[in-house]
Structure 1
Amino acid sequence: MMSEAALVYFGAGSLLFVFWAYGIVSFALDCKNRFFPAAARLVANWRARRRERTDEEEREQREKQLY
């Protein structure tokens, strides 16, 4: 009787471990394939907007100096 209980206990623990490990791997792959590229695009857009704004300000300053 005791060995059957131990077998069920460790079997259930092993099954739960498999799902736990699957969840961790899925989260890591989601981060790699979805969240990190989205964050990189967001930062690139911020930098592009800042660059466009500074270019526009420089152009306006040059135009003011011409007149």
Structure 2
Amino acid sequence: MNTEHMLFIGAGAFHVSKPSDLIPELQGRFPIRVELDSLSVEDFVRILTEPKLSLIKQYEACFKQKKLL
């Protein structure tokens, strides 16, 4: 399979790893490393409530339909 134009994205808790920890086939596929800050409680609340089709809004609609809310 030709992977020349494929985008590889990796995510996880790799804060102590370095490129040499990867197998050679993957080392060249991940040339950019980005470290992110931890999410706060407020961030999680926004994730669950702000999107138009948020999970919380979907559950509220379901509960209202079943007259549970």
The two structures have a TM-score, normalised by structure 1, of 0.32
Bigger radius of gyration among the two: 1
Q: In proportion to residue count, which structure has more helix?
A: 1
